[in-house]
Structure 1
Amino acid sequence: MFTPPPSPLPSKRFQSSESHKPKMTDDTPTCANTSASPTHSYQSKQKHTLTLRWTIILVPLTLITIAVSTRFFVHPTVFDAFSPTSSQGWKSWTNSLTDWSLHQRHKSTGDLLHLSDTSPSPFIKRSTPSTTSAPTVPINPTLPTPFPQPYDTTLSPNFSTTSCYNFFLNMTQTDALRSCRPFSLLLTHSQAFIQIQDDINATNTDIWGTCNTGISQSQCDLNMAWFASSLRSSCATDLSDQNLMAVSALTGLQAYDLMREAACSVDPVANAYCYVEAVASSDPSSYYFYQLPLGLPLPKITNGACNSCTKSLVSMYSAALSSTNATSLTGLQFTYADAANKLNSACGSSYAQSTTVASSSAPPSVKLTSVGGWAVLLAVGVLSTSISS
């Protein structure tokens, strides 16, 4: 009987591969660790991709936020839609949202005095006159109740020290200040006084009230001197830090007597207050001279300032700078020389006397953190968060 030959042995290569093949048992899970490394790599790649996508999305949004904040935080246009005095309809309001030109800043309420060498225009300008002629000096008019007072808006606690803030709270409530109706503080720090200038007759009455106080002028002079002294003590740090509220208040208190005299000056020809004539005039040139003692530089003027009232006013200023009280008139020291030169250029050399005054540094200006700066910080924060993720 034929016996078949034995089967050929497998090749060494085959044997070797078979010998290294893991034996499968019921206790050994299939693909135990073979996929661990690829899975971790995939997850890391997926996280990196997700971070990159968020960065791509957030960076443009941040840049858009910077552009929008620059327009809307400088002036919140959207608030105009809810203003009770707004005459914009829905169409004009929606058009304003797409208007990327610089929005005109709203008029300040006069709670802070802003001075700048680069923009020497006075902070508070006279209102548009409702009449072209000033009324005569009234005789015992009925004064408004309450009479306009300085710092009649909400007093912001924007002070370096609590003692200075408390001083302003106390000063604005005391009868020693309110009874004297200080024109030097009303001119730039009273919203009621500023707004009433739209009514020339009401302005005439208010000026009469500042000139005819219930207590004597000499007593008011003592009151303002006491407030100025207390302000230097209570607001020493704020004055050192050039807090503009403290600096402007001290300037106004020191100029009380001079500015009361200026406000009560009468044009003998028209028998009208010179200040009221300046408010009533369509040319604001004469009006600006009343702000010189407060440290507000004189802007460009016309020959509309060439009148007897202005000439008398600068003579009053010149005399004050030559008096023993000149050292306290820091605002006028800063503004008079330039104002005299401008007046003489417009009206002739005989209008203002050149007076040698002690040098005085310019009043401080407000330093504000720009909206753009905050936006850049926001952008940096977003990018840092994205990268760290």
Structure 2
Amino acid sequence: MRVGLLTREYPPDVYGGAGVHVEFLARELRALVDLEVHCWGEGRTDGVRRHRPWSALDGANDALRTFSVDLAMAAALEGREIVHSHTWYANLAGHLAKELYGIPHVMTAHSLEPLRPWKAEQLGSGYALSGWAEHTAVEAADAVIAVSAAMREDILGCYPALDPARVHVVHNGIDTRLYRPDPGTEALDRIGLDPSRPYVLFVGRITRQKGVPQLLRAVRGIDPAAQVVLCAGAPDTPEIEREFRELYEELSRVRAGVHWVPQMLPRPEVIQLLTHAAAFVCPSVYEPLGIVNLEAMACGTPVVASRVGGVPEVVEDGVTGVLVPVDDVFEQGLARALDSLLGDPEAARRMGEAGRERAVGVFGWDTVARRTVALYEEIRTQA
């Protein structure tokens, strides 16, 4: 089966959960199908074709530049038997290939544009175009993959014209051979962490979706012995970056041991940081699943996370971590949950061990790939 996998992010240019998903899914799919990846970037290597926005659109709205990549991808997909797109950045390419070549289109929904109104800050009026592209692709797709059961409900709520029978749940996965506890401390030493003090860790983009401002306010009042490590980069807009910097500077004035790492760290360093954290914190206000929570669990670290979207399908409250409702006292709830783990290292250790066990037993990428190929085969027989 000749499959075209369409994505914005692909190694070495991965900055979010959707990119991580595609990276590992592609790795497993190569053993099962004839796979060609189409992504953003320059050049072509074995099994990967990269496309860049048209130079004539330099300086234009990002939505228009995205559409130019989608057109280039669609033109390059002739001869594929099925296309599988990820995020709105590639959904239109999948839809166009379906119409142009008469082949099935599968799309994985990692998030939904109607539920991310803050994207208007990044795209301006182009947000209407990103929503249009997603809407068009969703309603015409032969199959829509939701990364959690909660995400499936969101998809059907946002797009009621979509036949529920075409929406399938396939959870995100984790490579527990790669993400596993690492006793090394080189990354901690390089950042300048005090080995005698515990630390809480955040890893993610600077975006309103990830709840970063709420986190920076929440950790002001946690146990003063704890350090705070913020691996936070790729801001959506200059405005959100400016807000983050102001909150970070305020936090640094009221407590010691606050460390901001703005650059993307190599994966081995992230694994070391996850391994040694007293708690990993995911304060997202919108999260269809949250691969980063799986990464923390696989490294044996307890998770404090928002009770939103698909997060409760990953993090078992009171077993592998603590879930916090996103309500009027969300920031206080985050602080209490973090303090509960900082104050009880034995309970945190038990949760970390349970998280590792759950990650290994439930969320393997080989299972994700097999379920995905089974869906490809099902829709091909129906086409």
> Is the shorter-chain TM-score for this pair beyond 0.5, marking a shared fold?
no
Bigger Rg, which one: 1
Normalised to the residue count of structure 1, the TM-score between the two structures is 0.24
Normalised to the residue count of structure 2, the TM-score between the two structures is 0.25
* Structure with the higher helix share, 1 or 2: 1
**Larger RCO (alpha carbons 8 Å, 6+ apart):** 1
* Structure with the higher strand share, 1 or 2: 2
